[in-house]
Structure 1
């Protein structure tokens, strides 16, 4: 009977953790992170759910003869922002699974 009680207690803990993680995921939707490239010449803002929300390109970087550079800066800034969104997600959700070895999670 003791094993069954431990299992019930573990299931309750898992349900509580799942609820907290769902709440954190909803909060992440509202979070904003910025990625930059070219010393701030291009800034990309994404949500915690990795949705691109805004792209700002400073006028100085727009050169019709070097469109490739501008495209590279946009890609770099976007990747920077997405990396920061991943880090934010890991930080927020990881605190709920710290010390647990759950397959398929962090």
Structure 2
């Protein structure tokens, strides 16, 4: 392959360069028109996908925030119940009335 590159003469390089140089002014209007429409379509598709992903992300974020709030509320309830179970004196002195049914349950007399 290296020998082929050496066999090229300077006149071949010049004629190729000249041919390309003559064709270049004709290509941009065609290429720009085609690539501009494809780029515009790609940009619109990308923007639609980006908007859809942003909306989905926002919805998921709101769902997570709601779940976080619910878990925080449940944690507060668990902490309150746990403190009542672990500290019975605190539970008996709370404002909730305790009902004593005796050893056999509520009386029916």
TM norm. shorter chain > 0.5: no
The structure that has the greater radius of gyration is 2
Higher relative contact order (CA 8 A, sep 6+): 1
More strand by share: 1
- Tell me the TM-score normalized by structure 2: 0.32
